[in-house]
Chain A
Amino acid sequence: MPTIRVQTEAFDAATEVNAITAGRSDVGAVVTFTGLCRDEGGTLAALELEHYPGMAEAEIARVAAQAESRWPLMGLTAIHRFGRIAPGEPIVLVVTASAHRSAAFEAAEFLMDYLKTRAPFWKKEHHADGAQGDWVSAKDADDAAMARWDR
């Protein structure tokens, strides 16, 4: 069963890895990906993450189920934060564990590509000069990154 959380609080990657690997000796590879809020050259004060409660968890669970059906995973954790997030703080965490590294690497990348384009989250920028910024635009590159997993 994957661990999926949508929360305002920060998370600790090491704690989440330990939750997967503690007490077992069959895991040969753990991959973690942490997405952080950038300061965009000092111009960004914070990101405001809006989400669709309920659907966010459900959509991440659907993506996690796909990953578990495609790769032989021994653990999967996905955490996505919402609310106001300052530069340097973590936004998203994906942890994948498997017997071998290729499955863990590929599943982690698959999860991130899908989360970016399918999980109902939206980022709004708050500028360092106090001005309220715009909603971040979706990138074609993210759609392309997701599409490469179609087969």
Chain B
Amino acid sequence: MIMSELNLRYFAWVRERIGTAQETVVLPAGVITVADLLAWLKERGPEYAHAFERAEIIRAAIDQTHVPHETPVGTAREVAFFPPMTGG
């Protein structure tokens, strides 16, 4: 299996809590879905645990399209995590 790099992007208070807007990771085996990715990220440190403490309210996008948490990450190039939107 080819270990592909995945670009992660964070916005609003998710970005502030983690302390970065963007990073590149190599997904470990076993991370299949967006929910798996969130669970893995939560273990990376207190800032991630804080950002994703209520994972159920975090919105996700794969390659700039909204997706539910059960979506497989698959061959995504970019996954973004952010709070519910407050534009308009």
B is bound to A: yes
What residues of chain A have their CB less than 8 Å away from a CB belonging to chain B?
Answer: 35, 49-52, 54-55, 58-59, 80, 91-92, 112, 115-124, 135-138, 142
Contact code string B26-69 (vs A, CB < 8 Å = 1, else 0): 00000000000000000000000000000000000100111000
Q: Which residues of B contact A91 (CB under 8 A)?
A: 87-88
Determine which residue in B61, B65, B84 has the highest number of CB atoms from chain A within 10 A of its CB, and name it: B84
The answer to whether the Cβ of B25 comes within 8 Å of any Cβ in the partner chain is no
A-B pairs with beta carbons under 8 A, tally: 73
Chain B residues within 8 Å of A59, by CB: 64, 66
* A118 pairs with B66, CB closer than 8 A: yes
28 residue pairs of the A-B complex, CB under 8 angstroms, read A35-B88, A50-B12, A51-B87, A52-B61, A52-B64, A52-B82, A55-B80, A91-B88, A92-B88, A112-B88, A115-B87, A116-B86, A116-B87, A118-B85, A120-B11, A120-B61, A120-B80, A120-B85, A121-B86, A121-B87, A121-B88, A122-B11, A122-B82, A124-B12, A135-B13, A135-B83, A136-B86, A138-B86
Which of B9, B12, B82, B88: most chain A CB closer than 10 A? B88
Binding site of A, secondary structure by majority: helix, strand, loop or mixed?
A: mixed
Whole-angstrom CA separation of A124 from B64 in the bound complex? 22
Contact A122:B85 (CB < 8 A) given known A54-B64, A59-B66: yes
Q: How far is the CB of B28 from chain A (nearest CB, A)?
A: 26
A52-B80 CB under 8 A given contacts A58-B64, A135-B13: yes
Is B61 a contact of A55 with CB atoms below 8 Å?
A: yes
Chain B residues in 8 Å Cβ range of A112: 88
